[in-house]
Structure 1
Amino acid sequence: MKHFDQLLQLDALGQKRLLDQKEISVLELTDFFIDRIEQYNPKLNAVVTKSFEIGREQAKKMKSLEGKVAGLPFLIKDLNAVKGVRQTSGSAMLKDFIAPENDEIVHRFENAGLIFLGKTNTPEFGFLPTTEPHLFGPTKNPWDLERSPGGSSGGSAAAVAAGLIPFAHANDGGGSIRIPASACGLFGFKPSRGRMPYPTYMNHFSINHALTRSVRDSAALLDILNGAGDHQLYPSFASQNNFLERVHETPRKLRIAVQYQEDETIHFDPETRNNMENTVQLIKDIGHEVVEEMPPIDFKELAKHFINIWMGSGSAIINHSGLMAGQKPTCNNLESLTFEILKYGRDLSALEYEESRVYIQKEAQKILAFFRDVDVWMTPTLNKLPAQIGELAAPKTDAFQQMLDNMLDYNPFMPIANATGQPAMSVPTYWTNDGLPVGTHFFGRLGEDELLLQLATQMEQENPWFHYYKNISNHFCTSI
């Protein structure tokens, strides 16, 4: 099997080069990753719907490899619709629902020539920072099978980290790309609001993109995905297809603010602080200026209002999904926490919702004003190491308080970028002595996606992380 021994040591674009040079065929590459999924997914539980025959047929029929990612296998998170394929959103309510049409983002994946091999696990409706739906069971973190890969794009993250797929779709409404990126040692980029097509049934906090092993893979996908759809009500940015071309350009000297302060609501564990100190030195070594500053915001109050909006919108998503599938949402076909979210949203008054929206808008204006004097704001991605399976998933009756506690304890910074619409990313910068990855998080100015990608490329070159995947493959293959 030519080149199969080196495939896992290449990022997606490295594998694309082999395709373009005809050193491997699309069908051979597809079959290689189908075999990887069949062999290793039973231990990880990352892929919950297999579409191997669809993928093999796409591979056989592919006539042209023109395009930046054409011919590469791909997985789609099970929150998004693929025509003719089961779409469960991790919920028993939708366990038999077959999507009647593609989401816009799925159309773009298909048009780019990606080979669809299946759908990845997600917590029910993407509501948690771990991936442990009752319908399918928990996804395991390939770096430590007792830990979660994060959420809500945990299935995609585990699959990419373990080498079951070159890269995978993800989306982010409160950190769901960046949390699993940190937990699984991947690069996770959340584009600026308005950069990607906007699903009409999701709140404006949410956005689609992907989880990748390299920065350039993320830039290539951004090239083929970005741009508002024809139905977009408020397109913010024109389509741009040169992110990959410009990702290796050196940015200007940046002024980067660093979040070091702890208070009664924000605490860093020792490994998180070690990572931050190491990353500050890395940033200085690259040549950027580091200042210890932070926006003037009340994290706890902002989190409370964010969750108000988020749970109100979540309740609407549950209702919409039930109508779409011809099912009534009840305590019998929803997890207890999800049913609590549904009730919370139904009880939330229009006045309360609007007050939270206005509060978030005011705080967002403060945060965006903070970026008049700094180019980038750096924080931990997570306050602690990846959660143990079950640590954050146990349902309680008070859904609002559980989600608030989880956010403030585990990922207080992630939802800020969803509230403001800024581009943000988690960069794998540190591994513990036990081999667990830790990510560092960066916010950029609204619309300056390219600048963040260029900073990430500098960090990737100065402090490479790809060699860690060789270790995970060796460990994972022997542990199964």
Structure 2
Amino acid sequence: MDLTGRRLAEAIRVGEASAVEATEAALERIERRDGALAAFVRVTPELALAQARAADRLLAAAGDGPVPPLLGVPVPIKDLNMVAGLPMAAGSAALADFVAPVDDGVVTLLREAGTVMVGKTATPELGLPPYTETDIAPPVRNPWDETRSPGGSSGGAAAAVAGGMVPIAQGSDGGGSIRIPAAACGLVGLKPSRGRISTGPNGVDGAALATSGVLTRDVRDTALALDVLARPWPGDDRLLPRPAAGSFLAACDTDPGPLRVGVVLTPFITPDAPVHPEAIRAVEKTIALLEARGHRVEQVGVPFPAEQWQPFKDVWSVMAAQAPIPPEREHLLVPLTRWMRERGRGVGGVAYANAIANGQQLQRQAASAWADVDLVLSPTLAQPAAPIGSIRNDADPARDFEDQCAYTPWTSTWNILGAPAISLPVHRARVGGGEAGPAEPAEPVERAGPVEPAEPAEPAGPMLPFGAMLGARTGREDLLLALAASLEPDFAPGS
């Protein structure tokens, strides 16, 4: 799928292609490529073609009038979200027989925007780990190197976009699950602010860590999708202001102005986690792009001591324990999920309330620590895309969780803060085969001038992408998107 979602929608609007043709092309690519990548757990050609024919009829009836913004664009749904009448296993054998009774709200909004639902994409069990390896399907493989994982938990969505099967894929992010696969697969991945995308009309926020979003290859596709999804439902208790530009897509064409950007290379939650030199190089390249555009870059500290993050484990474990798994099917869960659920059941009410309060305190500490900067920049991941099986550890799920944290030491903080963060595919480099490469703790950035580039890794092994992550204050997705769009000409594929 060479066109962006916006350009494909425009081609359909002006008659250069039909929605049926676009859908048939997507289905052909899925059939041809997904055997190797396993991005999809279910392909829905009959439903997709019926929706595409309806889109073509709508376009013909509209004449010169307006049509939905993504009319005819193929967009799959992550298998953590319900599509009425379709199975939703959520990556688990324990839920293999569940058929969704209704559409989730984001599915409704994407359908109203004219998208064509070509299938359900793979997720790890209950969306918990940052790899997409389950007991009910083959592991999802990274299009850049099929021995490696695309990340998770929106791993199938990322593989579908990076593999050229679709231009946009719906995902979700409760600890990095959009940004992690975006970095691993060379894509754009935005985690919106808490409350920007409603869980309505059927869902609840719970601990309010997770949000829906999309994986794309293009900043403006991400912005347009956010315009589609950022619609309130009755009963919402969080209503964030719309961007001053009128839409998130329009914000991409605004000047973000001179910004102050704080840089953090020290991992937030695992300070001793090894950081690959090419992950640092991604940040250094971003710094150079920012300074070339007149932005001021300076070092900032970590927002809170790592031990203060630990209550997040209680919240995450309780979320796992809340999943409605029938008791007679509990034994079908993978060891990591069983371990997390057992841990979650041991978290008392007071401990859970304290963990939620601790998260609120961390929001205030971060606001104070970063009060003098507009944005915060870090690597997205500490390492390149992980080899399949290198993090999953059924024999020792506690070690599995520790290794997840070392791989993703920055992402979950933004879920706790409730603030938006975006991973941008700013860098590509060859890394050694097999393991994830050199492992040295990151040194803080001491800087007041131009960056001296890090020594690149030995040019052997596959070419892999590395993401840089920018975070903003709550409600400022427009600022992130404006800046990302201004940087995009220098990191887009082929640049």
Task: Give the corresponding residue for 1:478.
Answer: none
Give the match for residue 356 of structure 2: 357
More helix by share: 1
Task: State which of 441, 449, 458 in structure 1 corresponds to 2:486.
Answer: 458
Matches of 1:384 and 1:95, distance apart in 2: 33
Shift of 1:190: 0.7
Contact 2:251 2:481 (8 Å CA) reproduced? no
2: CA distance between counterparts of 1:411 and 1:239? 30
| Aligned with residue 238 of structure 2, among 235, 242, 249 | 235
**Who is 1:256 aligned against?**
261
Q: How does 1:124-273 map to 2 (within 5 A)?
A: 124-198=125-199, 199-200=203-204, 202-232=206-236, 234-238=237-241, 242-261=247-266, 264-273=271-280
Contact 2:379 2:468 in 1 (8 A): yes
Q: How far, CA to CA, are the matches of 2:308 and 2:190 in structure 1?
A: 22
Q: Which amino acid aligns with 2:428?
A: W
Question: In the aligned structure 2, how far is the partner of 1:357 from the partner of 1:405?
Answer: 24
Partner of 1:472: none
Q: Which residue of 2 aligns with 1:403?
A: 401
> Aligned-pair distance for 1:369?
2.3
Distance 1:275 1:111 in 2: 37
Task: Tell me if structure 1 keeps the 8 A contact 2:23–2:73.
Answer: yes
User: For the residues of structure 1 that align with 2:303 and 2:494, how far apart are their CA atoms?
Assistant: 39
Please tell me the residue identity of whatever aligns with 1:443.
G
Shift of 1:346: 1.1
Contact 1:193 1:421 in 2 (8 A): yes
* Structure 1 gap segments, 5+ residues each: 1-7, 469-480
Change (3 A) 1:229 1:34: same
**Helix, strand or coil: the match of 1:455?**
helix
Match of 1:29 among 18, 22, 28: 22
| Equivalent pairs, count | 449
Instruction: Indicate the SS of the match to 1:115.
Output: coil
Look up the equivalent residue of 1:114 and give its one-letter code. T
Alpha carbons 2:142, 2:149 under 8 Å: kept: yes
8 Å CA contact retained: 2:12, 2:71: no
Please tell me the residue identity of whatever aligns with 1:307.
Answer: K
Structure 1 counterpart SS, 2:327: coil
Q: Secondary structure at the match of 2:10?
A: helix
Matched, 1:303 2:309: yes
Distance in 2, matches of 1:131 and 1:202, equals: 24
TM-aligned CA distance change 1:329 to 1:186, over 3 Å: farther
Give the superposed CA RMSD. 1.7
Q: How does 1:432-451 map to 2 (within 5 A)?
A: 432-433=429-430, 434-451=462-479
Distance 1:42 1:211, change over 3 A: same
Q: 5+ unaligned residues in a row in structure 2: which ranges?
A: 60-66, 431-461
1:71: Cα distance to partner? 1.2
* The one of 278, 286, 289 aligned to 1:279: 286
Looking at structure 2, the residues matched to 370 and 227 of structure 1 have their Cα atoms a distance apart, in angstroms, of: 32
Aligned to 1:336: 335
CA distance in 1, matches of 2:205, 2:471: 26
Paired residue secondary structure (1:105):
helix
Q: Structure 1 residues 172 and 289, CA, compared in 2 at 3 Å: closer, same or farther? A: same
Change (3 A) 1:329 1:391: farther
Counterpart of 1:395 in structure 2: which amino acid? D
Q: Which whole-Å CA distance do the structure 2 matches of 1:452 and 1:201 have between them?
A: 24
* Aligned mates of 2:166, 2:206 — CA distance in 1: 27
**8 A Cα contact 1:196 1:225, kept in partner:** yes
Identity percentage of aligned residues: 34
Q: Any runs of at least 4 consecutive aligned residues in structure 1 with deviations exceeding 4 A, and if so which?
A: 238-241
Give the match's secondary structure for 1:9.
Answer: coil
The alpha carbon displacement at 1:222 in A equals: 0.7
Deviations 1:232-280 (A, max 9, x none): 2x12315666111221111110000001346852431111122222221
Q: Is the 8 A contact 1:227 1:239 kept in 2?
A: no
User: Is the CA contact (8 Å cut-off) linking 2:392 and 2:400 kept in structure 1?
Assistant: no
Whether contact under 8 Å (2:380, 2:467) holds in the other structure is yes
In structure 1, the residue matched to 2:10 is 17
Match in the other structure for 2:53: 60
Q: Counterpart in 1 of 2:85? A: 84
Deviation at 1:115, TM superposition (A): 0.4
In the alignment, the residues of structure 1 paired with residue 281 and residue 205 of structure 2 have an alpha-carbon distance, to the nearest angstrom, of 41
Specify the code of the residue in structure 2 equivalent to 1:464.
Answer: F
Q: What is the distance in 2 between the residues matched to 1:102 and 1:313? A: 22
One-letter identity of the residue aligned with 2:477: D
Distance 2:90 2:186 in 1: 24
Note if 1:419 corresponds to 2:416. yes
The one-letter amino acid of 2:424's match is V
Supply the AA of the counterpart residue of 2:58.
S
* Alignment check: 8 A CA contact 1:304 1:404 kept: no
Output the CA distance in 2 between the equivalents of 1:453 and 1:339: 39
TM-score normalised by length of structure 2: 0.88
Equivalence for 1:4: none
In 1, Cα distance between equivalents of 2:90 and 2:252: 34
**Structure 1 SS opposite 2:76:** strand
In 1: Cα distance, 2:302 partner to 2:376 partner: 9
Structure 1 residue 296 displacement after superposition: 3.8
Distance in 2, Cα, partners of 1:303 & 1:186: 28
Structure 1 residue 410 displacement after superposition:
0.6
CA distance in 1, matches of 2:205, 2:126: 12
Q: 1:196 to 1:274 in 2, by over 3 A?
A: same
Q: Is the 8 A contact 2:148 2:388 kept in 1?
A: yes
State how far apart, in whole Å, the 2-side matches of 1:247 and 1:329 are.
50
What's the CA shift for 1:417? Answer: 0.7
Q: Is the 8 A contact 2:39 2:155 kept in 1?
A: yes
How far residue 398 of structure 1 moved from its aligned partner, in angstroms, is 4.7
Paired residues of 1:143 and 1:435 also in contact (CA < 8 A): yes
Output the amino acid matched with 1:458.
Answer: S
